[in-house]
Amino acid sequence: MATATHHLSEHDPTSVPSGAGRRFALVVSEWNRDITDALRQGARDTLLRYGVAEADIEEVWVPGSFELASGAQYLLERGGLHGVICLGSVVRGETPHFDFVCHGTTQGIMDVGLKYGRPVIFGVLTDDTMQQALDRSGGKHGNKGVDCAVAVLKMAAIREQAIG
């Protein structure tokens, strides 16, 4: 298990670039809202901690994780963003629906990032149980939203260094 040795909220603060002057969006799934709202709060707090202005953080809620990629694409089409964090939670059920949603969501988020040349961060918990989701959204394994905010700040800085 990846998080057994890695606490999702722990990072070296000296390795995180400032977000001052950059604009980011959080696209958040309404499905499993208790989980996704905790992820959203972790991401928002982390962006603010590293200098992103409150006014430079946009939030959009979409019906489910499958719609995260479309939400990110709509925002990137408009322009003006340095990156997008997609936050969702899919918990395994008794049917193969879990596999289809997880695969489509993963592929869609990656495709949008590549299409628009901006960081689009995959912050979707894909857990076997609700307890695992709770553990990764502010519980004993930390908060994946924090991890995603650090990732978007780093990737936005890398993009800026690479292409200006």
- Which amino acid makes up residue 38? A
Structure tokens at 112: 């949008």
Residues taking part in catalysis: 97
Could you tell me which of 90, 113, 87, 84 has the C-alpha nearest to residue 28?
Answer: 87
CA distances from 7 to 15, 16, 61, 90, 151 (A): 16, 17, 26, 20, 15
Contact criterion met (CB below 8 Å) for 67 and 104: no
Question: Residue 18 half-sphere exposure, CB side, CA atoms within 13 Å?
Answer: 4
- Which amino acid makes up residue 77? E
